[in-house]
Structure 1
């Protein structure tokens, strides 16, 4: 029996599919390790928490970072996910030429309600391999924020779980959020 072969799409293939109409303009999809994956609809808590985080970080930025909401992150030739929120390095003009890459990311946040398993098992290892320094998973079902730091090829060296108190990105300790307030 012949072995099955899986075709992995590249980012260029992915964009060609969109340009030719194979992928509809309003399709909510992302490219993960060569596979085109449907994104789940965004529920009210997800949208509200994302908006709250975005407004909070935008208010404190003072030119130190840009807030990037549900836009592409070019990881490699086979992966271009769309995280819920990222803090990326300025200047903004740079991103008119190309999407941010892992080196541009200060903090990446996934808001996980129905996507918790996929975010932990598929996207988190992808982010670690890419060297993204800090990832937060806002775990909606368990009302907590999982903080991942110190990436390597196998995953993240440190994981902490925060349910209350204050939390700030490692790179900007003055940008503290009230965890309980965000999770309510």
Structure 2
């Protein structure tokens, strides 16, 4: 006889209390997506190098006009608090000391994906769109392309552009922010 168990979603506030209580350690590779605590993929050397390279490029190009957040949480709604690889946040003098940035604070969210590309593309990117984040980038390590998502809708981004090796990605939400794809992958 099969037993059917109904799971109750975990809220962002419950998730925070689990961390505070030590149920989840600070170094646990997990994030809250749609009320579920999900493990994140391990970070390999190439993934880490691309995150560092993008961080350096963004810091130089943005010249303190925005905050670059690296592998920190963003609260999308009451049930989701993902930890994207990078996020470009609206500038605040307190650097979000009083609380985790929300979707409204986020200008661009960036996922660096090797083994997680399908998951990020099908699960996380649509959630960023639903939350109203104006722009998302998926750095596809395997295919060495950058997918740029703009015009967020109810369940997906309305516009998707694929940038290849010789292309220059121009951010839609931050005037003047341009990154050459070869700069990202040509380590």
* TM value normalised by structure 1: 0.94
2:172 to 170, 173, 180: 170
CA distance in 2, matches of 1:167, 1:94: 27
Distance 1:2 1:47, change over 3 A: closer
CA distance in 1, matches of 2:5, 2:27: 32
The Cα shift of 1:46 comes to 0.9
Indicate the residue corresponding to 2:147 in structure 1: 146
**Contact (CA 8 Å) 1:108, 1:136: kept in 2 or not?**
yes
The Cα shift of 1:156 comes to 0.8
Structure 1 stretches of 4+ moved >3 Å: 1-4
CA distance in 2, matches of 1:18, 1:98: 15
The Cα shift of 1:181 comes to 2.7
| Structure 1: unaligned runs, 5 residues or longer | none
Aligned length: 184
Greater Cα offset, 22-31 or 69-78: 22-31
The Cα shift of 1:5 comes to 1.7
2:12 equivalent to 1:11 = yes
Q: SS of 1:153's equivalent?
A: coil
2:108 equivalent to 1:121 = no
* TM value normalised by structure 2: 0.92
The Cα shift of 1:2 comes to 7.8
Compute the RMSD of aligned alpha carbons.
1.5
Alignment of 1:78-89 (within 5 A): 78-89=79-90
Query: Per-residue CA shift, 1:140-177, capped at 9, x if unaligned?
Result: 11110011110111211111100022112112342211
**Contact (CA 8 Å) 2:108, 2:134: kept in 1 or not?**
yes
Distance 1:94 1:50, change over 3 A: closer
Q: SS of 2:94's equivalent?
A: helix
Q: SS of 1:148's equivalent?
A: strand
Indicate the residue corresponding to 2:74 in structure 1: 73
Query: Per-residue CA shift, 1:57-107, capped at 9, x if unaligned?
Result: 111223321100100101111110000001110114050011111111111
| Structure 2: unaligned runs, 5 residues or longer | none
